[in-house]
Amino acid sequence: MGKIWNRLREPSTWAGLSALGILFGVPEAAVGAVGQIVGGVAALGAIVLAERK
């Protein structure tokens, strides 16, 4: 699970997933919306979660 999580945090993974989505016919607006939602969730997590000591 840790490897998958680390991979999902890489920008190149998101670029690849976006390219695959567009290749298979997902509208660009939907791909962009998903990216914005994921970014928003990550931002909320950064606010709520405490840093490790």
**pLDDT for 1 beyond 80:** no
Region 36-40 average pLDDT: 83
Burial group, residue 45, by CB count within 10 angstroms (0-12, 13-18, 19+): exposed
- Structural domain includes residue 36: yes
Average confidence score pLDDT of the chain: 81
- Structural domain includes residue 53: no
State how far the Cα of 53 lies from the Cα of 45, in Å rounded to an integer.
17
How many domains would you assign to the chain? 1
* Predicted pLDDT of residue 14: 77
Residue where the block lists tokens 């989505």: 21
- Structural domain includes residue 39: yes
Q: Which two tokens stand for residue 7?
A: 């991979």
* Predicted pLDDT of residue 17: 81
